[in-house]
Structure 1
Amino acid sequence: MFAASIKSKTQSLRLQSSRLMPLSQQYRAQSNLSNNKSYWSHIPSWKGVSNDEFVSYRWQLRNTVSDKLKLYKFLDEVLPERLGSTENEQLKRIRTRTNFIEDAIAAIKLAPMAIRLTPHVLSLIDWNNPLDDPIRRQFLPLRSSIIPDHKYLELDSLHEEQDSPVPGLVHRYPGRALFLATSICPVYCRFCTRSYAVGGNTDTVSKKPQKPSRKRWEVVFEHIANDKSLQDIVVSGGDSYFLQPDHVREIGERLLDIPHIKRVRFASKGLAVAPGRILDDSDPWTDNLIAVSNKGREMGKQVCLHTHINHANEITWITRLAANKLFKHGVIVRNQSVLLKGVNNTFTALSDLIKSLSDINIQPYYVYQCDMVQGIEDLRTPLHEIIDLDKQIRGTLSGFMMPSFVIDLPGGGGKRLVSTYEKYEHGIATYKAPGLPGAKGEMTYTYHDPKPVKTAVLEEFQQRQLEALERGETLEQFFAQSAAHLPRSPLPNPSSNQNPLRPQTTSTDIVPEFWAPTPKPAYAYSQGM
């Protein structure tokens, strides 16, 4: 009897003690990191890095590749002398380590996004066969794969600035708004929608970032508090992973304390590119997110994390442990993927991704058609592919596992199901957005498919780009000069028999929409958020 009483009291004290421990330490006590494979050990410099060290967010930041010199050193270390083959005609001439490094460094000069790659991401790439690797394609451009931008591309293709009542807040939809709290991310994706603002300046784009600022935040909080129509706020940027832990709590609690706010979403790619932070007991970011989630639940309000995983190869044992920790503590996690050529635009790749997410209790929420972003025509897919994938996958999964296949309409039309177009022919789709207020709800929004370019013309284009950069020109200046000097097809005469939706080619053998983009509006470069 006495022994049983002592045992009961001991168990009670242990339980009380565990409740006093930080949540991350509680989880670490139940998870043995050392039992898992070190998937980064094939990187020579990280061969001896322990599981605990690799999980450390500080270690990830310290070893992030964030400039051309670091990239050169890393590639020189990991690439074999001769690379695996590829079926991509544009990349077949890249056969050796030297070829790859030269092509990658040249591409960085042309890209709208700065380079920033975490050790977690770099460890997932097959460096023996990097040309077709789905992770490499998302984060590391190659000059040989860059093709001319579409004529109708705009750097701020979604016109977010036009929907910003105050700096750092995008209010497009009734009842919902996007709070851009920072402009920094743990990694920089090639296909970033906000390449007009996110990250540092590049050789091709000058940016005006929205740095974390309490003064700016106060203006946003005041606007949200005064607009009682708002119920749902997305905290993004940039990436909420780059908010200080106390800022996560401060922003979350400030929003929850506004009576008419019912839902708060933190948007972060962190779970995909540095998942160890969720498990890192020296970093309170996750504890603060869980605390905000718990407070919301007590108030009858929803707090969730929206992440961004595009391929099943991005999910490691660290990702699984991190997702399970969030699930255990009641944090709702949803995933938003982007359909990307050579990454996930097949039935097998996309199905595997959706199933893998569901298996770790991350809800597959959206699959986006890739936006018309500068410098990524090699990643965009025609609209019919995402529509076909929706048809093929639907019915093979449980309904609650099935994501919505959507397009974020150029020009600020917002999200629409890809299959709800008004008209789609000759690679041009038109949509309506009746749910938007005012004139936007009456407008017609147009999306243009990417179009093929002949190899010889492409090589000439790439060479002229590099020469322009060597002269100190920006890509905007280069495109403007191309528009002035290259032949273009005449505009279709409304009275003629030509179909105005069918593009007319010229003797250049390249679709004129690529060679001569419409000059970008000045705000896309001078007032980016």
Structure 2
Amino acid sequence: MYYTEEEITLIEEAENFSELPNSITNGGNLEELQELKIPDPIKKPVSQDLLEHRYFIKSEFWKKIPAFKEVTEEEFLQSKFQNRNTVRKVEKLKELTKGLVDPKFIEDVEKGMETAPMNLSISPYILSLINWDDPYNDPLRIQFIPVNSGKEQDHPKLTLDSLGEQDDSPVPGLVHRYFDKVLFLPLDVCPVYCRFCTRSYAIGGNTETVDKVKFQNTPKKWHNAFAYIASRPEIEDVVISGGDAYMLAPDRLRLIGEILLDIPHVRRMRFATKGPAVMPMKILTDNAWTSALTDIVSAGRKKGKEVVLHTHFNSANEITEITRQAMLQLFKSGVTVRNQSVLIKGVNDTAESMIHLIRKLSYMNVQPYYVYQHDMVEGTEDMRTSIKDTVELERIIRGVTAGFNTPLFVTDAPGGGGKRDVHSHDYYDEVTGISIYRSPSVDDSKLYIYFDPISSLPTEGQKLWEDESLHEVLIENAIENSGYASLEHAQ
């Protein structure tokens, strides 16, 4: 981060008994320990760097943006202000960053938007946290603002719907892939638009390169999905995503929760949202929305059913004291929050950045649940990493904190294979970047293939992919070498 010591606060833990608050030592459970000699340590004292995850930005950081210089904290914390001032056009970005960034950068963005599969949409919160002194290397800019100079040619196997969700949709807005779980997509808008979105085939408005499939944010349009779920007694788990549950009006959020809780065989419900990472103040100030969520959680608990919130932090740079307060409010209200990150080059693909994120989430009572290998989505080649690098990162991460706060690193197998532990491939060639997975619980007759970004391959591998006539040969050889040539390649 590029903030000064005056702009951050350390959530201190007492280092010795003399620093414990009087409320604890005076008549508290620890009072009798005061007189004891502290045992000799068997571990060396840790450096302050290892406690960096306890620092949270507390300043009025948004005032770094000239247009927000007079915005008070009370105003900035209103979700209405965030929605009203969300940047949706490059011209608006240019206006807000005038004097902060080289105009050539904005020109680079304009060219990048011409081929981007996602529209531009950035909340004032995220805009204010970007380091405009070095936007090209900023992990938040990388996620939300494309630049033409960073664009890489797509791998020939990239698609818009790389997970084959539309092939597993019995009715519009519903995906039924796993035996006991469905994905419900009631809307197609989000508080921000991520460049790497796995549903770039549907989310947001049409772009110059993509005509979107639409999910309707209308209760009448949801009835077929609800009827399907109610008719299938094996379905116990429902993920409500989209789009983003943050964008559901409180009454519609409540309606979805109540209907699903009334279906006897539905036992678990997950509301999925990027919101806490990009607009955390909504939880603190949009009382109607937060009450709807907490009421559904409470109603579920009374029925013996689990209702949780799944969110999407990718970088510790997204987290401020506002975030911590929002997560604390949910925690005190009994809402379980789990995090699902996407592994992105330049954002969280180093051990240092990922460990810092995991520890910071854990400190806020947000469980690091998944880290996804970046999906093979068109227009995102510059953001993807190789399976080899991900496996090594996972190896380093394992053991840095408690197991329940250590995320699973997974590949969402292209073509509809579902989530596979990233290291559980049945075959992997580091030269061609081809990895092969089986998913017997989804379809034991198919193989699912992931392709590393070509730029991550050695020179030999890059040259092989330059020759289009070799593409199918490379895949056929990989399947043969995997020992599963009798199985069908899911595409």
Give me the TM-score of the superposition, normalised by structure 2: 0.82
Deviation at 1:453, TM superposition (A): 9.2
Shift of 1:493: 9.6
Cα offset, 1:487, TM superposition: 8.6
2:127 to 122, 125, 134: 122
Q: Deviations over 1:221-274 (max 9, x none)?
A: 111111101000000000011111111111001100110000110000000000
- Secondary structure of the corresponding residue to residue 78 of structure 1: coil
Q: Which residue of 2 aligns with 1:105?
A: 110
| Aligned residue number for residue 444 of structure 1 | 447
CA positional deviation for 1:492:
7.5
What letter corresponds to residue 449 of structure 2 in structure 1?
Answer: T
State yes or no: 1:428 paired with 2:407: no
How far apart are the structure 2 equivalents of 1:498 and 1:406?
22
Give the Cα separation in 2 of the matches to 1:253 and 1:365. Answer: 26
Q: Counterpart in 2 of 1:262?
A: 267
* Comparing 160-169 and 46-55, the one that deviates more: 46-55
SS in 2 for 1:37: coil
Mind listing any 5+ residue stretches in structure 1 that lack a counterpart?
Answer: 1-34, 80-96, 455-485, 503-520, 522-529
Asked if 1:377 is matched to 2:342, the reply is no
Residue pair 2:296, 2:307 contacting (<8 A) in 1 also = yes
CA distance in 2, matches of 1:289, 1:213: 19
Question: Which residue of 366, 372, 375 maps to 1:362?
Answer: 366
1:322 partner amino acid: A
Runs of 4 or more consecutive aligned structure 1 residues displaced over 6 Å after TM superposition: none
Alpha-carbon deviations, 1:282-325, whole Å to 9, x = none?
Answer: 54111100000000011110000000000111110110000000
Mapping of residues 158-177 of structure 1, within 5 Å: 158-177=163-182
Query: Residue 215 and residue 419 in structure 1: after superposition, are their counterparts in 2 closer, same or farther (change >3 A)?
Result: same
Alpha-carbon spacing, 1:500–1:62, altered in 2? closer, same or farther (3 Å): same
Cα distance, 1:137–1:259 mapped onto 2, change above 3 Å: same
> Alignment identity in percent?
48
Between the aligned partners of 1:56 and 1:342, the Cα distance in structure 2 is 31
Q: Does 1:202 align with 2:181?
A: no
1:139 paired residue number = 144
Structure 2: runs of 5+ lacking an equivalent: 1-56, 458-464, 480-490
Given residue 363 of structure 1, which amino acid in structure 2 is its aligned partner?
Q
TM-score (ref. length: structure 1): 0.76
Structure 2 letter corresponding to 1:490: S
Partner of 1:363: helix, strand, or coil?
A: strand
1:492 and 1:500 in contact (8 A); partners too:
no
2:59 partner letter: K
Structure 1 match to 2:403: 399
- The whole-number CA distance in structure 2 between the counterparts of 1:330 and 1:149 is 44
Q: Which residue of 2 aligns with 1:310?
A: 314
* Equivalent AA in structure 1 for residue 275 of structure 2: G
Which residue does the alignment assign to 1:47? 69
- Cα offset for 1:400? 1.1
Could you tell me how far 1:42 is from its partner in structure 2? 0.7
Tell me how far apart the structure 1 counterparts of residues 115 and 472 of structure 2 sit (CA, whole Å).
36
Residue aligning to 2:391: 387
C-alpha displacement of 1:61: 0.5
Question: What displacement does 1:74 show?
Answer: 2.1
1:75 Cα deviation from its structure 2 partner: 2.9
Does the 8 A contact of 1:240 with 1:268 survive in 2?
yes
| Higher RCO (C-alpha 8 Å, min separation 6) | 1
Separation in structure 2 between the aligned mates of residue 376 and residue 266 of structure 1, nearest angstrom: 26
Name the residue aligned to 1:60: 82
* Partners of 1:77 and 1:331 in 2: CA distance: 42
Deviations 1:326-352 (A, max 9, x none): 000000000000110000000000000
Q: Show the counterpart of 2:298.
A: 294
8 A contact 1:405–1:418 mirrored in 2: yes
Given residue 215 of structure 2, which amino acid in structure 1 is its aligned partner?
Q
Cα pair distance change 1:167/1:489, threshold 3 Å = closer
Q: Give the CA deviation at 1:500.
A: 3.7
Map of 2:419 onto structure 1: 415
Look up the equivalent residue of 1:42 and give its one-letter code.
K
SS in 1 for 2:454: coil
Query: In 2, distance between residues paired with 1:489 and 1:212?
Result: 42
Give 3-state SS (helix, strand or coil) of 1:284's partner: helix
1:343 paired residue among 340, 343, 347: 347
Name the SS for the 1:157 alignment partner: coil
Picking from 490, 500, 514, the partner of 2:469 is: 490
C-alpha separation in 2, matches of 1:230 and 1:492: 39
**1:14 alignment counterpart:** none
Alpha-carbon distance in 2 for matches of 1:314, 1:98: 25
Q: Counterpart of 1:391 in 2: which secondary structure?
A: helix
Alignment correspondent of 2:184: 179
Structure 1 CA distance for aligned equivalents of residues 178 and 396 of structure 2: 30
The aligned runs of 1:240-279 (5 Å cut-off) are: 240-279=245-284
